[in-house]
Structure 1
């Protein structure tokens, strides 16, 4: 019995979302995870203090600085960076396993982490930079989410211009004026990247099998 919708093996991809804080990348990430069961979120390790709404092992793995440095020295992290005085990093083993098994992984990381991933796994990487529609909107979003004190909001605004300057290092840019429209754009990017010929490791076998039935 032949299949009308054959499943062709492919290598997984790493979808990176970066933006200045408050531009909406976390909301976009959540929307994508809710709509697509075939992609999972990379859980980073961090030395940052856990926020009340966060769960250890779901949002981040929360560790102290000594443990973080030990992981770095042992080569257990694919990328790491210090952001606003806190350390963040991506565990190596679960990511490399996911790619080999054809599973996609979503990253909510900054430009420093994206650069390091590009050095190690460039062929598996798809980078998307999320911009706010304006500086005024960015500041309003930061103040409205009420997760940080005013001095932290001011610091994030001061850093935003530097972070935005890295937009040209990314494969795609989304201006997040409307969450629904931006989410649709992100889903389209993912769908197209999944169909790249070089990621479809089972395509040669599939084509040869088809040719054999055609007498080629």
Structure 2
């Protein structure tokens, strides 16, 4: 009987395809027990060791591990001294060593692009006074001198207030495409020479253009959103008319025409990016507001970029 049970047990183990390795079976063992394969047992033992190491609070990474097995080799841990007890240079170098790279000295944000500021508004609101004071407080600002075919007024200087040219010469500039914008205003031509803008923008200067409402509309079509459009107004219509009277530069007919034009021009205010109220006796506040507009534009993440 004993011999028969041994033979039966051996025969069963040799024909079981799951048992790929020679094993010893105890014929007297409990029928519910299972044989243990040595190779599987070793794998389980190694897996248990690895799991225990990963879950341990005292686990220390092995920087000498093979990078092909455990990923890229980690940089060595560098102790960083406290800024309270060490010099700035020492802490700085330790931080670089710990991160594995040097800190760049390049500016995080590049220098802002040169701006083109278009200033417009009705006659008599003080555009020239604002621009003159603005140029005195900002050295990197270039006021583009406009070319005109009209005659000089008393006190005006050629090349400073306007470039005074004859009508034939002005028409020649139009034909050669030398003007960014031009218009016929009150029977005289006015236009903006391109070359001035290009030269000073190349030097990093901001450009100020003083134009009438018609010129501003033309520049908006040409420059679109690449320029800043600022509308200057008086505090009221009454104040505007009084300023025009006080200038004493127009005849009654011309004065009436300018007042009528001013009323029409005020309707275009919403076409501009900013509005500045230039109150009587508060020129400094108006200039400071224009400066704030320029500074805000230069601080924008998405800069305007004008190409002439």
TM-score between both structures, scaled by the size of structure 2: 0.60
| Counterpart selection for 2:239 from 129, 132, 137 | 137
Offset of residue 73 of structure 1: 1.5
Query: Secondary structure of 1:166's partner?
Result: helix
Q: Which residue of 2 aligns with 1:196?
A: 300
* Structure 1 stretch displaced more, 77-86 or 119-128: 119-128
Summarize deviations over 1:22-62 as a string: whole Å, max 9, x none: 01111111111111111011101001110121111111100
Offset of residue 102 of structure 1: 2.2
Q: Which residue of 2 aligns with 1:16?
A: 118
Query: Secondary structure of 1:147's partner?
Result: coil
Structure 1 portions without partners, runs of 5+: 202-216
Q: Where do residues 45-84 of structure 1 align in structure 2 (5 Å cutoff)? A: 45-84=147-186
Alignment pair present for 1:114 and 2:177: no
Q: Which one has a larger percent strand, Structure 1 or Structure 2?
A: 1
Offset of residue 15 of structure 1: 0.8
How many pairs align?
199
> Does the C-alpha gap of structure 1 residues 6 and 144 become closer, same or farther in structure 2, counting only changes over 3 Å?
farther
> Does the C-alpha gap of structure 1 residues 53 and 7 become closer, same or farther in structure 2, counting only changes over 3 Å?
farther
Offset of residue 118 of structure 1: 2.4
In the aligned structure 1, how far is the partner of 2:218 from the partner of 2:207? 16
> Does the C-alpha gap of structure 1 residues 128 and 200 become closer, same or farther in structure 2, counting only changes over 3 Å?
closer
| Counterpart selection for 1:180 from 263, 273, 284 | 284
> Does the C-alpha gap of structure 1 residues 11 and 140 become closer, same or farther in structure 2, counting only changes over 3 Å?
same
In the aligned structure 2, how far is the partner of 1:9 from the partner of 1:184? 22
In the aligned structure 2, how far is the partner of 1:39 from the partner of 1:168? 26
Structure 2 portions without partners, runs of 5+: 1-103
Offset of residue 190 of structure 1: 1.1
Q: Which residue of 1 aligns with 2:128?
A: 26
In the aligned structure 2, how far is the partner of 1:168 from the partner of 1:103? 28
TM-score between both structures, scaled by the size of structure 1: 0.84
RMSD, matched Cα? 2.2
In the aligned structure 1, how far is the partner of 2:268 from the partner of 2:304? 30
* Structure 1 stretch displaced more, 188-197 or 36-45: 188-197
Offset of residue 134 of structure 1: 1.3
